[in-house]
Structure 1
Amino acid sequence: MAATGRGEKDDLFSRVSTSRVSQVIVDQIKVLIRDGSLTPGDRLPSERDLCQRFGVSRVTVREALRVLEATGLVTIRVGAHGGAFLTAPSTDRVGEGLADLLSMSVLTAGEVTEARKIVEIGALPLIVERATEEDIDALFKLVEEGQHAVDEGEYTVDISARFHIRLAECAHNTALTMLIQSFHGPLLMSLREAREQAPIMGKRGTGEHRELAEAIRSRDLAAAQRVMSEHIARTAQRVSHEVE
């Protein structure tokens, strides 16, 4: 990628005047990324140039760059060829951002379970089609870990959540992976509430996890959809206090 310097991109930035100057700079750069004016690999102008273009102090520019770096949109390199370079945020970084938004939202266990029905059952066609042998082996390993925990009386909702997250990864769809990873906190919350309604849990769920892994290994979409529907429906009943 060619470096972004003086020339055709000189007029991309406009002066700002507000009490939260650094955030306005961050927002301007985000808009330029979204509309394609700036792309991963581009180098931002130097601090001095940015100060002149935005009409702010170097301290303010540095603060904005720190925010962009913390969100994974910019990487700072030192040396003769250093500077602030635009980067594509990683799956983990974006997932963390979505997770923060979800964790700060007021969500009920019932809402989370309804969303799981749409997302997890909807993902099964891709999972059944795309799961690799490595994926399937990983699912069965998690099933065995869950079974061992049940046998030892040490089963936790985190074990269940890890299976569902790994299952979604079998779709090999980056957007879906980010969504499911970000949903980890709310998923645990809904499972914990379900457990409060049915303290002795794990055995049946682990058995259904095994059935799901077997259906995926057999490329049997109908079986996978049936098991997942029953699996999530039971959680839905528990969080709505309609325990079986």
Structure 2
Amino acid sequence: MPFEKITSEKLSSAVTRQIELLILRGILRPGERLPSERDLAERMGVSRPSLREAIAELREKGLLASRAGAGIFVADVLGSAFSEALVRLFSDHDEAVFDYVSFRRDLEGLAAERAATLASDTDLRVIGSIFAKMEAAHTKPNSETEARLDAEFHLSIIEASHNVVMLHMMRSMFQMLREGVFYNRQQMFRQRTTRTTILDQHRAINTALQARDAPAARAAVDAHLTFVEDTLRDLRTSERNEAIARQRLDHESAR
């Protein structure tokens, strides 16, 4: 008969499973520091020996890492999504930039559709709160904060889609974007008119999501990322034309 005796689960196993789920669901993020051992044991209602056993198991699994004198941190689990050689290859070829935007358009359009139907009211409040911060940052001359919030806004939609595989894949993609692998995000926010257009596009995405209008949310994401693609093509053309013009100027000056 396919039955086995019921046994109580070890406390350390319950702790392990809870922390694993927090990492899987993207609530605990790579590089995030866990509370102190005493604080964490109190929060979870377990003994410190049980907690230590769970942390040791999670370290063995590569999900947690110790830093001398600093504590326990969530390991950089995103780092394995792409090899260093592939990341360098991406950064060396413009073709990867436009494939990246196309990939985002497909995946984020799907995420927006899912979020419009599957997101909780709290998920939508998070998205709306980030957009409100974008509006506030838009009034300031320095675009750095607005560019950072842009990424947070898109990731909050992916989180609200409640697909953990999509979440971790897209977080890895956005980490490479932050590091300038695909393009310098500051370029997108250099001109005030471009910043305003991008803000309006994010407003349209947020409005559709808050209304739980899945087709409109997907269409708004598609329109936004098509604009990003067109703007990047224009930037590439402008940079190429400027380089040619400088060659002509240098040649003329030398005559």
Per the TM superposition, whether the score is higher than 0.5 is yes
Q: Secondary structure at the match of 1:202?
A: helix
- Structure 1 equivalent of residue 212 of structure 2: 219
Cα distance in structure 1, aligned partners of 2:85 and 2:134? 27
- Structure 2 equivalent of residue 237 of structure 1: 230
- Structure 1 equivalent of residue 203 of structure 2: 210
Q: Is contact 1:109-1:193 (8 Å) kept?
A: no
Q: Is contact 2:62-2:75 (8 Å) kept?
A: no
Of 120, 142, 146, 1:132 maps to: 120
Q: Is contact 1:143-1:210 (8 Å) kept?
A: yes
> How many percent identity over aligned positions?
15
- Structure 2 equivalent of residue 55 of structure 1: none
Say what the alpha-carbon RMSD is for the aligned residues: 3.7
Deviation of the 1:122 alpha carbon: 2.1
The residue type paired with residue 191 of structure 2 is P
Gaps of 5+ in 1: 2-39, 42-76
Q: Secondary structure at the match of 1:104?
A: helix
Q: TM-score, normalised by structure 1?
A: 0.58
- Structure 2 equivalent of residue 25 of structure 1: none
**Could you say which structure has the higher helix fraction?**
2
The residue type paired with residue 98 of structure 1 is A
Q: C-alpha offsets along residues 79-130 of structure 1, whole Å, 9 cap, x if unaligned?
A: 9x96964648489743343266598342232121111112111222211111
- Structure 1 equivalent of residue 166 of structure 2: 176
Cα distance in structure 2, aligned partners of 1:154 and 1:197? 9
Q: Secondary structure at the match of 2:212?
A: coil
The residue type paired with residue 240 of structure 1 is R
Cα distance in structure 2, aligned partners of 1:119 and 1:236? 15
How many residue pairs were aligned? 171
Q: TM-score, normalised by structure 2?
A: 0.55
- Structure 1 equivalent of residue 191 of structure 2: 199
Gaps of 5+ in 2: 1-6, 8-15, 18-47, 65-73, 91-95, 238-255
Q: 1:98 to 1:134 in 2, by over 3 A?
A: same
Q: C-alpha offsets along residues 15-66 of structure 1, whole Å, 9 cap, x if unaligned?
A: xxxxxxxxxxxxxxxxxxxxxxxxx99xxxxxxxxxxxxxxxxxxxxxxxxx
Cα distance in structure 2, aligned partners of 1:197 and 1:148? 15
